[in-house]
Structure 1
């Protein structure tokens, strides 16, 4: 085997994962203990990782915890959440406990409809071609559904179409949307296959040239809607409710605030999406695009007072997740996460994820409206700092206590405290 001197390496993918690792180690001058760290296997063995992605050399573990106290549509859930960020699981669990007093979370959905787009250019008569596509609806549905007879037999398949005229610098594009019920799959492969099959027929009908034919991650036909009520006394009183509503109104009005507000929502959502082996990027892209669907980026959630003065919250968000296909059925931890959740369908999974996003958003806003976000966040972050500074397990709690009391959660201060404690012992 040749030594890897540059990143240009023909045939790297043909090597075994162990051989690839040694090549990378040579290139990066890794030491033996660093190579040994990369060789360590967790629940996801390197043989499985090698089948999941290209050029695999190792796997990366993310902490997996569980959200508690969740009552959704009258059913109890223990919710696996994979995240590296402190306070996310604690905040969402705490708010689920608060919301439980008023019945928990209530969720519904619009069904598992995914959209694929077929882009057509150079159409001589775009308005007439648009109508011709509508006239060909039944024929196009039949052609698409021949691509996946099993899905059709389960009640899924292409159900409808729409046609948009999109102005561009290259002229008006005709864009066909096909709507596909993907049942318990996220559905990317299915809708892409159907779009590919329809392309030549669309060209014949429109007289134009088809270029892109691919799903859209703005899955606005696959929405999850969740509502909840948080008791004002459990939150901390009327002033806290008013503070949370003020924080929400800030996010609704200002995209700079909305970006961070929605990041908090996604802290909860992405952790469950990741834990169940679903596509975090697809869900995140769809969520942020949906937040800007009216031409201005705004909050994904809404908060208001109800007639009793309690805090009422809602979220409406695209949720393209599945229980079959992809990493969900390959990754051993993802399979166990689904088992822990006890969900029976992709729709139920989506509702659970939406509830976690709403709870996490409430937790972040409550912190902002009371002691500020840093207090809870830094108390957990300080443990990481102490460990990174080299604290032994019996020292961690004391170091955290000192750093929090001083308001100095820093690596240099943690190292100083370690030395002080060691000197005291000796």
Structure 2
């Protein structure tokens, strides 16, 4: 399906008018429309998403328009309570659109973890020793989950920073 994310005066339309435009552009089903209107119960889905669900917080779902990414038009859904973010994103995309939009590329998945090491007597020495044993430390980290490593995951690297706190320094 081919469409343009350039929808003049989208922000001036009523919620129902905007929803109708999106439904027609994307050929949404009745169930999709019901979800957009907040009529579907999603508690079962929430129970799968996170632990200890007790309810939900309702936030508005907006659509940022004007986006071209890698030569293709996109409508960008945004759930946010800040009123100016969707407008600013749409405006920035409108400006970028004049020059062909945005270029994006995927460079692989990377998850970042963080450790804070406190109460170190000689923080510079600790940093030097951690760097000296980097390979061994990564091997230890990767020995804990063989399946993750077989799938291409696992610890790949670490960086160290000394953070100066109000009362003490710590290694991050």
Q: TM-score w.r.t. structure 2 length?
A: 0.56
| Cα displacement (A) at 1:141 | 0.2
| Cα displacement (A) at 1:171 | 4.6
| Cα displacement (A) at 1:50 | 4.9
Choose from 60, 76, 79 the match for 1:82.
79
Q: 1:246: which partner in 2?
A: none
Q: How many residues align?
A: 133
CA distance in 2, matches of 1:88, 1:146: 44
Q: Larger Cα Rg: Structure 1 or Structure 2?
A: 1
Choose from 112, 136, 141 the match for 1:139.
136
RMSD (Å) for aligned C-alpha atoms: 3.3
CA distance in 1, matches of 2:100, 2:87: 20
More strand by share: 1
Q: 1:119: which partner in 2?
A: 117
Query: Structure 1 unaligned runs (5+)?
Result: 1-40, 178-426
| Correspondence 1:219-258 to 2 at 5 A | none
1:44·1:59 contact (CA, 8 Å) conserved in 2? no
Q: TM-score w.r.t. structure 1 length?
A: 0.26
2:62·2:79 contact (CA, 8 Å) conserved in 1? yes
CA distance in 1, matches of 2:41, 2:149: 34
1:68·1:96 contact (CA, 8 Å) conserved in 2? yes
1:96 aligns with 2:112: no
CA distance in 2, matches of 1:95, 1:129: 46
Q: 1:106: which partner in 2?
A: 103
| Correspondence 1:135-284 to 2 at 5 A | 135-168=132-165, 171-173=168-170, 175=171, 177=172
More helix by share: 1
CA distance in 2, matches of 1:97, 1:169: 45
1:42·1:61 contact (CA, 8 Å) conserved in 2? no
Query: Structure 2 unaligned runs (5+)?
Result: 1-37
- Structure 1 residues 71, 129: CA separation in 2 closer, same or farther (over 3 Å shift)? same
- Structure 1 residues 126, 77: CA separation in 2 closer, same or farther (over 3 Å shift)? same
- Structure 1 residues 135, 64: CA separation in 2 closer, same or farther (over 3 Å shift)? same
- Structure 1 residues 136, 65: CA separation in 2 closer, same or farther (over 3 Å shift)? same
CA distance in 2, matches of 1:42, 1:93: 27
